[in-house]
Structure 1
Amino acid sequence: MNLTAENHSIPLKDGTRIPLLGLGTYGDPRTTPRGTALECVKLAIDVGYRHFDGALVYFNEHEVGQAIREKIADGTVRREDIFYCGKLWNTFHPPEMVRPTLEKTLKALKLDYVDLYIIELPMAFKPGNDFYPKDKDGKYIYHHTDLCATWEALEACKDAGLVKSLGVSNFNRRQLELLLNKPGLKHKPVSNQVECHPYFTQPKLLEYCRQNDIVIVGYCPLGSSRDASWYCPRFSQCGLWCSVWVIHPA
């Protein structure tokens, strides 16, 4: 597969470029053997992948970063060839927690910057060290979130050079409008990562994003693994989410 950041990428609104095909690096940490992400990312780079989708909450960014660094060290790629997307998790929406959380990702990756950093979900959980806080009845503990305040903290991270581009994930039109209409907006979201595949095409959201120069990044492009009938069983053995694809806004 002859994929490079140059010949299989499209421009984002802020001038950076995003490779069209990416490898999702999620693997259930309870069942995925250690080292799986490391070996998968190294192999993916060898066969041509340049776009990697990760998150602090995947608990494997240290392996992904090691794979990227090893492939830079052996001369296979340069840092500028790699496009890494990280995510701000639900428990870190308060503005004062945004930069320290991004810095945790950078420390795990041992990289100076990420190419894209996105708000993983528009809802928030109770802030703290527990990524999935629950009450005594086993129900998730939600927390008020001011998406505009969170976005301003992300803008400061971009201005500081810690991230090249900013985006969101799982946002609907109303939530996107909150950001796009925010007074004093400095950096528009350049992407919205959502589930998108032949069983769930999201045409209205896609059209809205096109109108606002927001690229849709579709996860589960072969169908959602939440329903075994929606995905190819061959891919279920890899341990990681197989891919994301980028849908050109034009």
Structure 2
Amino acid sequence: MVKIEMVTFNNGNQAPIIGLGTWKSKANEVIEAVKNAIDVGYRHIDCSPVYDNEKEIGEALNSKFKEGIIKREDVFITSKLWCTEHSPNLVEPALKKTLSDLRLEYLDLYLIHWPMAFQEGKESFPTDANGKYLGSDVDYVDTWKAMEKLVEDGLAKNIGVSNFNSKQVERILKICKIKPVVNQVECHPYLPQVKLSEFCKSKGIIITAYSPFGSPDRSWAKPDDPQPLKDERIKKIADTYNKSVAQVIIRYQIQRGHIAIPKSVSKTRMQENLKVFDFELSEDDIKEIHTFDKKMRACAMSMAVDNEHYPFHEEF
């Protein structure tokens, strides 16, 4: 069993530096995936209600609790508040629904999934009759105040944000009683987020890197879209360490102090993704990978580009 390193948050709490991403894991696959992940040593699972698989993840966790493989305090579970539930009065009910689906009493980390609010209702991606996205003018600053109450009430041990730019993080920091511990953002060799990473570090906020491989299995990917996993320059670096491209990409995140949450449903790949603590990239390797930046966003959420809180108009 690989011993996974921990990161320490600005409040003294800790989290495993590698977690299992579950976005795009189909409900019928994710039960086995989470069980396998726990069996091979993962102790950090990243979830969201919009992934439509939290009930199944709850089933897998419950099964492992019953087997005695893990206790609740052995695992770090993250979930997120979806954009249709930013109104302060909806925040606690949204978390309670997630807790019910995951069969848990509390979350280790709860994030505001995106800074933009969507129109409230049953549709996760609400649109009008012409297919135009329906936004809401709820300000994430008001949402944050409701998030803080979750910590005070013991429903979440830590809170953070996701897909926020530096100015949006600054706005939260100006009003918060409880600082965000994490900003979870897309981060990979073609979107290395160097400036945002440095900014967050200066504020004591840890980056969680989602889609660390550039999400090659996203449904809207085009056949000729570049893929970090197929990059010959990274392969050359990997060969010098006798490691795989995937291992170098994960190590690239870890050495920057980022949490990495690669998604996989393959037990073999999960095991491979954990074998990253027995080598170290040189500083030159990390600087070189920084130069592979293509400003490539797999997750641009462009439907909400006109929302006043859309994050990617800013450079970082």
TM-score, structure 2 as length reference: 0.70
- The answer to whether residue 241 in structure 2 is matched with residue 248 in structure 1 is no
Partner SS state of residue 193, structure 1 = strand
What are the Cα deviations for residues 23-73 of structure 1, in whole angstroms up to 9, with x where unaligned? 111226xxx3x4311110000000011111100111111111111111111
User: Could you tell me which residue of structure 2 aligns to residue 223 of structure 1?
Assistant: 214
The answer as to whether partners of 1:193 and 1:217 remain within 8 angstroms in 2 is yes
Of the candidates 65, 69, 79, which is equivalent to residue 62 of structure 2?
Answer: 69
- 1:142 matched to 2:132? The reply is no
Q: CA-to-partner distance for each residue in 1:115-150, whole Å, 9 max, x for gaps?
A: 000000000110111111101110110111211110
Aligned to 1:21: 18
Q: Give the match's secondary structure for 1:46.
A: helix
Query: Comparing 8-17 with 82-91, which one deviates more in the overlay?
Result: 8-17
Asked if 1:156 corresponds to 2:149, the answer is yes
CA distance in 2, matches of 1:147, 1:63: 29
Give yes or no for the alignment of 1:57 onto 2:50.
yes
How far, CA to CA, are the matches of 1:16 and 1:216 in structure 2?
15
Please state how far the C-alpha of 1:231 moved relative to its aligned partner: 5.1
Aligned-partner residue type, residue 65 of structure 1: G
Q: CA deviation at 1:232?
A: 4.2
Single out whichever of 172-181 and 65-74 deviates more from structure 2.
Answer: 65-74
> SS where residue 21 of structure 1 aligns?
coil
Q: Secondary structure at 2:157's aligned position in 1? A: strand
Q: State the Cα RMSD in Å.
A: 1.9
What's the counterpart of residue 239 of structure 1? none
Counterpart in the other structure of 1:168: 161
Distance 1:215 1:201 in 2: 14
CA distance in 2, matches of 1:220, 1:62: 22
SS of the residue 1:111 aligns to? coil
- What's 1:12 paired with? 9
Residue 224 of structure 1 contacts residue 231 of structure 1 at CA under 8 Å; is this kept in 2? no
Contact 2:54/2:98 (8 A) holds in 1: yes
Equivalent pair of 2:189/2:228 in contact (CA under 8 Å):
no
Question: 1:18, CA displacement in angstroms?
Answer: 1.0
Question: Separation in 2 of the partners of 1:17 and 1:169?
Answer: 18
5+ long unaligned stretches in structure 1: 234-242
SS of match in other structure, 2:121:
coil
**Which secondary structure state, in structure 2, belongs to the residue aligned with residue 192 of structure 1?**
strand
Q: In proportion to residue count, which structure has more strand?
A: 1
Q: Does 1:206 pair with 2:197?
A: yes
Aligned amino acid, residue 186 of structure 1: K
Q: Distance in 2 between matches of 1:83 and 1:100?
A: 21
Please say if residues 183 and 208 of structure 2, whose CA atoms lie closer than 8 Å, have aligned partners that are also in contact: yes
% identity of equivalent residues: 44
Equivalent positions of 1:85-164 (< 5 A) are 85-164=78-157
8 Å CA contact retained: 2:144, 2:172? yes
Q: Is 159-168 or 75-84 further displaced after alignment?
A: 75-84
Q: Which residue of 1 aligns with 2:2?
A: 2
| Offset from partner CA, 1:63-97 (integer Å, 9 cap, x none) | 11111111111121111111111000000000000
Q: 1:191 aligns with which of 182, 196, 200?
A: 182
CA distance in 1, matches of 2:229, 2:30: 20
Residue identity opposite 1:55 in structure 2:
S
